[in-house]
Amino acid sequence: MILSCSNIKKSFGENEIIRKASFHIEDHEKAALIGINGAGKTTLLRMIIGELAPDEGEAVLSRGKTLGYLAQHQDLQSSRSIYEEMMDSKKELIAMEEKMRSMEEEMKKLSGDELSQLLSSYTNLTHAFERADGYAYRSEITGVLKGLGFEEEEFSKDVSKLSGGQKTRVALGKLLLTKPDIILLDEPTNHLDLDSIRWLETYLLNYPGAVLIVSHDRYFLDRIVTKIIEIDNGNVSVFAGNYSDYSQKKAMLRAAQMNAYLKQQQEIKHQEEVIAKLKSFNREKSIRRAESREKMLEKIEVLDKPSEVRADMRITLEPRIISGNDVLTVEHLSKSFPGQPLFHDLNFEIKRGERVAIIGANGTGKTTILKILNHVLDADEGVCTLGSKVQIGYYDQEHHVLNMEKTIFEEISDAYPTLTNTEIRNVLAAFLFTGDEVFKQIKLTSGGERGRISLAKLMLSEANFLILDEPTNHLDIVSKEILEQALNQYTGTVLYVSHDRYFINQTATRILELTNQAMVNYIGNYDYYLEKKEELTRVYAPELETAPEKEAVSENKLSWQQKKEEQARQRKRENDLKRVENRITELEERDSAIDEEMAQPEVATNAARCIELSKEKAEIAQELETLYEQWEELAE
């Protein structure tokens, strides 16, 4: 066991956030901490790291173990570049490397016993450096930065000039590189694109330490965790398995708890009715019997009503009129910004009833396409044609469609003036805004609250073509599931951009991936996309160097000439793979030979030869690291 939390309790004023939380994390275990927004997840993490004191109980980290924590929002104050900031996480290895260089220089001036003693120390240091993977730390830093979505030309950027999301990625990279025994991550996927999320999944799956994650990304949790720790109305429960396992068990448990609660309530009501009837007889015996029943009733431990699946948040999406079968036709669409080409000659159609997800890496132009469709931006080339009777409802992730100076009530009443005050209050109550909350200015609301206001306007629009930009951002898991259900029951057409793979898997009937400035079509959900991605990307959106070939691709197959070129590329790849493998074998054999030579007494006392062999060994390690990366790329 690496972390133990026992009977932790925390209140803020009269608001009891967490009551008697007890759980533990084993060595190497991957666990998730989940709950609705405001449940106390971040509060619990802060108590674990000692940033916040619990009212009762304690969190204990095993002796000698290290802990790393990534907060949800980062504001790194640094005058260094991104790469220099990452190097800071390897300062111990850098110090060892500098010490080795210093010892090598000193060896040139010594002889006899002094040289032998220094050689012994040097050998121990080099072995420690090698065990710590010291020869590969630079390539490890590069790999982590690239995995988190930074291009090499960005490595020299000043950290102080980065956005909040970029700073969070740098902080995450530093944390991963320090390799603590247990990592606590608060919403680590919020600022990552799909490729970076997949990279982080693989990294965490192979991470030798323990991991505790707060995340609303259910696909991410399904891939990584084997334990779910849930905070629900202040109570903390532990479930074995991933998110899908938890979801099934939770539904069964909730049903059983609700059944027990309703039965007890029925029994209490029955006893109260009997007591009232006995008292109404106004006889000594009947009154004593009533009093006896009252005492029994007082001793009953009343069950709390189980939390329901947020049935109080109600989203009903239904179009006012039915559109034509052809909802949207996009032809030859292109868009660039100065120094940043996004996409070129896009062509696609959307039919009535489809739910289409646009996916792709950050910066490829997904949101730009939605803005062009909603006339927020102009295209450089191409046309977008709406079909007959199509009415658009637009959900903007930046909520520009909301007037920040208005109150929540005014935002709805001004947009839909025919609604009565009661109707507006009923709609807002469906989205969890009650009482005086409806008179809060929108500029004072949280991201999640703005999302709910935008969803309320979307529901009232009765549009038959919904265009949604990151609709699940800032929503907790339960709210996402309610939105999924509403979209799946919606009889209109949906086009959306999302990084939430679970959401895509549950709702999309088709996926359009924006990659290499082209659009690749997948008729299916996210699992189907993963299955076909490599094959279809190679055919319909090759790397830009081979982009002219794309014009020769027919609807269903490559031309004969392209097949020949593909076969030639395949042969070249196989030859390159064999060449790299041979070079790796050659270097590994030489590395073993150096170890054997350095173990010989006559070599161990020869300072010049030792330095020469050590340098060669370091060069081999560096070259091998590069070759291993090449081999992985070629093997894929």
pLDDT for 564 beyond 70: no
| Tokens, residue 215 | 């995340």
Which of the two residues, 410 and 304, has the higher pLDDT score?
410
Q: Which residues of 128-151 are buried (b: 16+ CB within 10 A; e: fewer)?
A: ebeeeebbbbbbbbbbbbbbbbbe
pLDDT at residue 464, as a whole number:
95
Gyration radius of the chain over CA positions = 31
Residue labelled with tokens 């909730």: 254
Specify the pLDDT at position 560.
Answer: 41
For the record, the structure tokens of 385 come out as 């044609």
Positive or negative, the CA dihedral 393, 399, 401, 402 is positive
Q: Which residues contact 570 (CB under 8 A, 6 or more apart)?
A: none
Residue with tokens 């930074």: 150
The pLDDT assigned to 52 comes to 92
3-state DSSP assignment of residue 186: strand
Contact 522, 498 (CB under 8 A): no
pLDDT for 386 beyond 90: yes
- pLDDT band at 548, cuts 50/70/90? very low
* pLDDT tens for each residue of 571-592: 777 778 788 878 888 888 888 8
Tens-place pLDDT, residues 272-319: 888 888 788 777 777 888 888 888 888 888 887 776 544 456 788 889
DSSP 8-state assignment for residue 302: P
Instruction: State the pLDDT confidence band at 555, using cuts at 50, 70 and 90.
Output: very low
Rounded CA gap, 293 and 278, in Å?
10
Contact 345, 332 (CB under 8 A): yes
pLDDT the model gives residue 74: 67
pLDDT number for residue 479 = 81
Q: In this model, does residue 463 exceed pLDDT 60?
A: yes
The pLDDT value recorded for residue 368 is 93
- 469 vs 314, 355, 366, 473, 500, CA distance in Å? 20, 13, 9, 9, 12
- Write out the E strands in 426-490: 465-469
pLDDT category at 426 given cuts 50, 70, 90 is confident
Rounded Cα–Cα distance for residues 171 and 152 (Å): 17
pLDDT tens-digit map of 523-532: 988 988 988 8
Which of 105-119, 198-212, 487-501, 534-548 has the least mean pLDDT?
A: 534-548
Write the CA distances from 14 to 9, 11, 17, 18, 503, integer angstroms: 13, 7, 9, 12, 36
3-state secondary structure of 471: coil
pLDDT for residue 636: 56
The predicted pLDDT at position 558 comes to 40
SS (H, E, C) 334-375: EEEECCEEEEEEEEEEEECCCEEEEECCCCCCHHHHHHHHCC
- Cα 63 to chain centroid distance, Å, stands at 31
Q: What pLDDT does 311 receive? A: 46
From CA 268, how far away is CA 296, in angstroms rounded?
Answer: 10
> At what angle are helices 607-635 and 112-131 packed, to 10 degrees?
10
pLDDT band for 554, please (50, 70, 90 cuts).
Answer: very low
Q: Which CATH code fits 326-535?
A: 3.40.50.300
Q: What mean pLDDT do residues 185-196 have?
A: 85
Q: The pTM is what?
A: 0.66
Phi-psi region at 399: left, alpha or beta (left = phi > 0; alpha = psi -120 to 50):
left
Q: Could you say which DSSP state residue 81 is in?
A: B
Contacts of 121 (CB under 8 A, 6+ apart): 103
Q: Answer yes or no: are the C-beta atoms of 467 and 370 closer than 8 Å.
A: yes
- pLDDT band at residue 556 using 50, 70 and 90 as cut-offs: very low
Q: What is the DSSP letter of 442?
A: G
Q: 3-state DSSP: the chain helix, strand, coil percent, rounded to 5? A: 50, 20, 30
Strands 510-515 and 355-359: parallel
If one counts every other C-beta atom within 10 angstroms of the C-beta of residue 469, the result is 23
pLDDT grade, residue 192 (50/70/90)? confident
Average pLDDT over residues 32-45: 88
pLDDT at 547: 40
**Cα separation of 378 and 342, whole Å?**
13
The whole-number pLDDT of residue 382 equals 94
Beta pairing class for 465-469 and 493-497: parallel
Residue 551 pLDDT level (bands cut at 50, 70, 90): very low
Q: 329 pairs with which residues across the strands?
A: 349, 385
**Region 50-54 average pLDDT:** 92
Domain boundaries, the chain: 246-299, 326-535, 560-635
